[in-house]
Amino acid sequence: MTDSHTTADSKIDHAASLKYWNSVPATTGSMLGEFPSVSRIDLQGSKSFLAKVRRLLPGVQSGGKFHQAVDCGAGVGRVTEGFLSHVCEVVDAVEPVAKFTQVMKDSQLKRDGVIGTIYTRGLEDWTPEKKYDLIWVQWCVGHLTDSQLIDYTVRCRKALTENGLMVVKENLSTHFSGQDMYDSEDSSVTRTDAKFRQVFEAAGMEIVKSELQKGFPQSFNLLPVQFYALRPKTTN
Ligand SMILES: C[S@@+](CC[C@H](N)C(=O)[O-])C[C@H]1O[C@@H](n2cnc3c(N)ncnc32)[C@H](O)[C@@H]1O
């Protein structure tokens, strides 16, 4: 909850976020808080969203795998293991918590060369090389301030290959008066759909498709989860 003088993102404290995530076990279940069983539904939803986007955009490789992807805010590699590694040849990872990146470093996917470079750092400190066909960022941009998120999205825009695609998958705010919501437990914000659209516009990205994740049981009482598929805006 914000008062009229402070924005939700001004309360973000990276040290507090890292303290929270370092206190959580380095397991797939811990990435999703109280509801580890949402993982299967989440991963299936991501797979079908990406397939829809590929059909929509002729330039995006429609049949084979993406060559080079990156999983941003990867945690222990849940999304890489359960989804990205099935649709991409090589998946890099960015994640600031060393005990989480260690799980990826020790994994069979790393030994097999499917997990490529692992960057143990926050997205605010990561400058990607221009080589990515797919940048996937899920359930972590709430740890960046609005201006950090714009700057990060600009860097991602510049790091995409010619037909490259960025997908942001995040919770949406349900605040009664349409504000971003601050959560002191992990020092993060949950943004409104309007805020995400402002951020992407400011970063020079076009939304080619967006939709809500479906299929989470109502009884879990989860926040809405939205996909945004982004490409660099074309200038006329
Ligand atoms: C809810 S978990 C999601 C992990 C993974 N994306 C998934 O869906 O399984 C949030 C992740 O964001 C990471 N995180 C915290 N601060 C971050 C930052 N500044 N930049 C990138 N990731 C951050 C946490 O360490 C944690 O691994």
- For the segment 71-108, what is each residue's pLDDT rounded down to a tens digit? 999 999 999 999 999 999 999 999 999 999 999 999 99
Indicate which residue's Cα is closest to atom 10 of ligand 1: 140
Residue-wise burial string across 82-94, b where 16 or more C-beta atoms lie within 10 A, e elsewhere:
bbbbebbebbbbb
Q: What is the DSSP letter of 37?
A: T
CA-to-CA dists, residue 73 to 4, 123, 136, 195, angstroms: 30, 7, 9, 20
Amino acid letter at 112?
D
Indicate which residue's Cα is closest to atom 22 of ligand 1: 73
- Report the run of H or E that residue 105 belongs to, with start and end: helix 98-105
Handedness of CA 69, 128, 124, 53 (dihedral sign): negative
% residues pLDDT > 90 (the chain): 86
Please name the residue that has the structure tokens 């994994």. 107
Amino acid letter at 25?
P
The residue whose CB lies within 8 Å of the most ligand 1 atoms, and thus the one to mutate among 17, 95, 140, 167, is 140
**Burial category of 145 from C-beta neighbours within 10 Å (exposed 0-12, middle 13-18, buried 19 and up):** middle
Handedness of CA 96, 180, 151, 199 (dihedral sign): positive
Nearest to 231 by CA among 131, 164, 137, 186: 164
Q: What is the pLDDT of residue 36?
A: 67
Residue 185 CB neighbours (<10 A): 9
Please name the residue that has the structure tokens 């309360």. 11
Measured in Å, residue 14 CA sits from the centre of ligand 1 at 12
Token representation of residue 130: 């221009």
pLDDT bin (cut points 50, 70, 90) of residue 148 is: very high
Token representation of residue 157: 């825009």
Tens of pLDDT, residues 173-221: 999 999 999 999 999 999 999 999 999 999 999 999 999 999 998 888 8
> Which carries the bigger pLDDT value, residue 60 or residue 236?
60
Q: Per DSSP, which regions of 64-150 are E strands? A: 66-72, 88-94, 115-119, 132-138
The size of the chain, in residues, is 236
Domain boundaries along the sequence of the chain: 8-232
Atom of ligand 1 nearest to the CA of 28: 9
Residue range 8-232, CATH number: 3.40.50.150
Atom of ligand 1 nearest to the CA of 140: 12
Q: What is the DSSP letter of 24?
A: S
Among 31-40, 77-86, 121-130, 186-195, whose mean pLDDT is lowest? 31-40
